Amino acid sequence: MNSNQAVIGYFKFKNIENMGYLKYGYYKRIIQYVIDFYNEYYVRKIFLSLLDKGYFIKVKNHTNSYKYKFNPNPNPKINVAGTKKQDKPSLPYIIRWD
């Protein structure tokens, strides 16, 4: 079992999603406890990989900070606001040389 799977399993077991939106610092402490490794670079790397996979919902706080909520059923097509990401739509440009 790798560290990402261990962290996800612990979060699901403890129902972390019921705690609501939390700062990164809380998740950092939990991840450090689960993997029993206190290197901040490695912990941040694990957190960012889970964020990219859709396991966290990211919301901007009223200041210039973010809060995160654990999502046990990830959907990587959801962005910060909770709306589905649109692939860059192709605009119908027609160039005519009249």
* Helical axes 40-52 vs 3-14, angle rounded to 10°: 70
- Higher local confidence (pLDDT), 10 or 93: 10
Tell me: pLDDT of 96 over 60.
yes
CATH of domain 1-98: 1.10.10
Q: Bridge partners of 69?
A: 57
Looking at per-residue pLDDT, the higher value among 25 and 80 belongs to 25
List the domain boundaries for the chain.
1-98
DSSP state of 48: H
DSSP state of 81: T
Average pLDDT, the chain: 83
pLDDT category at 80 given cuts 50, 70, 90 is: low
- pLDDT reported for residue 81: 52
Query: What is the per-residue pLDDT across 22-64, written as a single tens digit (0 to 9) for each?
Result: 999 999 999 999 999 999 999 999 999 999 998 999 998 888 8
Size (the chain), residues: 98
